[in-house]
Structure 1
Amino acid sequence: MARIYISLGTNISPAQHLRAGLVDLQKHFGPLQLSRVFESESVGFKGTNFLNMVAAADTELSITEVVATFKQIEQDNGRIRGEKKFSPRSLDIDLLLYDDVICEIPVELPRGEILFNAFVLWPLAELVPNLCHPVTLQTYQILWQHYDKQCQQLWPIAFEFPAELLATNPLIITR
């Protein structure tokens, strides 16, 4: 059983797509552990603000199968393949960590944006502050403490999680 950490982001009907993505993730992976939801300014392009968060789950699936599941969930939520890298997203789901695996294929792990994007690092540091990044060997709490918080603006928001998600499997929501 592998422990996976998942980044979710959206700026097209963001509350709707984030809720739908969480419901789909729970259907595929079972109980989720969640960070708070953060709102952030778009990075790399002028656009509406994003909602971002990090989730954790356990899986028997391989890395390739996990990534394929994420792509299917994105597609089911209106994601169009071939979009420009920096553009609006209905739902963007990325595998950040798969246990302590370090690899480039089938995807880069740990995902590089952990160290560069506040909208990934802050929720990850909140969710697992004492877990060590497999390359830097620093905890996510230490990485967040040393992050230049002036370079990207984000803030935690109140978010209503889907009732069907809470009813079928109580979530552990870190505050």
Structure 2
Amino acid sequence: MAKIYISLGSNIEPIRYLKAALVDLDKHFESLELSSVFESEAVGFDGTNFLNMVVAAETQLSIEQVVATFKQIEQDHGRVTGAKKFAARTLDLDLLLYDNVVCDLPVVLPRGEILYNAFVLWPLAEIAPTLIHPVAGSSYQDLWNQYDKAQQNLWPIEFDWSA
């Protein structure tokens, strides 16, 4: 079983779509562990605030199968294929880590935004504080402690979900 970490984000009916994504992830993956949910300002465009979180899970699927599953879940919940990168969205699922795999294909792992987006790093540090980034060589808690928190505004919010 591979341990994976998934970034979830939404800024269109975000509570609805995060809950729907968690239901679907629970159907496809095992042993879900959820971070807190964080609200953050849109990055890269003017838009409504996003809700973001990180989920850890276990899977027997390959990286390709995991990514395809994420794309299907996004599409099932109204994500438009081929939409602009920096735009409002119902749901965004990104594979952050697949065990300690470092690769460029079929996706870049570990995902680069771990190191520069607070809305990914903070929740990842929350659920995997002692896990070591396979390229940077530091724990996610250390990376978060060193992160310039003035770069992005985000804050935890109340969120209730149970499988």
Please give the TM-score of this superposition, normalised by the length of structure 1: 0.92
Look up the SS of the partner of 2:31 in the other structure. coil
Q: In structure 2, give the amino acid aligned to 1:43.
A: V
Q: Distance in 1 between matches of 2:50 and 2:138?
A: 27
Gaps of 5+ in 1: 166-175
Q: Distance in 1 between matches of 2:159 and 2:94?
A: 21
In the alignment, what sits opposite 1:144?
Answer: 144
Q: Equivalences for 1:111-150 in 2 at 5 Å?
A: 111-150=111-150
In the alignment, what sits opposite 1:30?
Answer: 30
Q: Distance in 1 between matches of 2:160 and 2:9?
A: 16
Q: Distance in 2 between matches of 1:131 and 1:160?
A: 26
In the alignment, what sits opposite 1:172?
Answer: none
* Deviation >4 Å, runs of 4+: none
Q: Distance in 2 between matches of 1:32 and 1:72?
A: 19
In the alignment, what sits opposite 2:43?
Answer: 43
In the alignment, what sits opposite 1:107?
Answer: 107
Q: Distance in 2 between matches of 1:12 and 1:59?
A: 28
Distance apart, 1:10 and its partner CA: 0.2
Q: Distance in 2 between matches of 1:49 and 1:161?
A: 20
Distance apart, 1:30 and its partner CA: 2.5
Q: Distance in 2 between matches of 1:5 and 1:78?
A: 23
Once the two structures are superposed, residues 114-166 of structure 1 have per-residue CA deviations (whole angstroms, 9 ceiling, x without a partner) of 0010000000000100000000110000000000100100000001215xx2x
Q: Distance in 1 between matches of 2:141 and 2:48?
A: 28
Q: Equivalences for 1:56-135 in 2 at 5 Å?
A: 56-135=56-135
Quote the sequence identity (%): 67
Q: In structure 1, give the amino acid aligned to 2:65.
A: E
Distance apart, 1:31 and its partner CA: 2.6
Please give the TM-score of this superposition, normalised by the length of structure 2: 0.99
Look up the SS of the partner of 1:141 in the other structure. helix
Q: In structure 2, give the amino acid aligned to 1:45.
A: F
Q: Distance in 2 between matches of 1:69 and 1:53?
A: 18
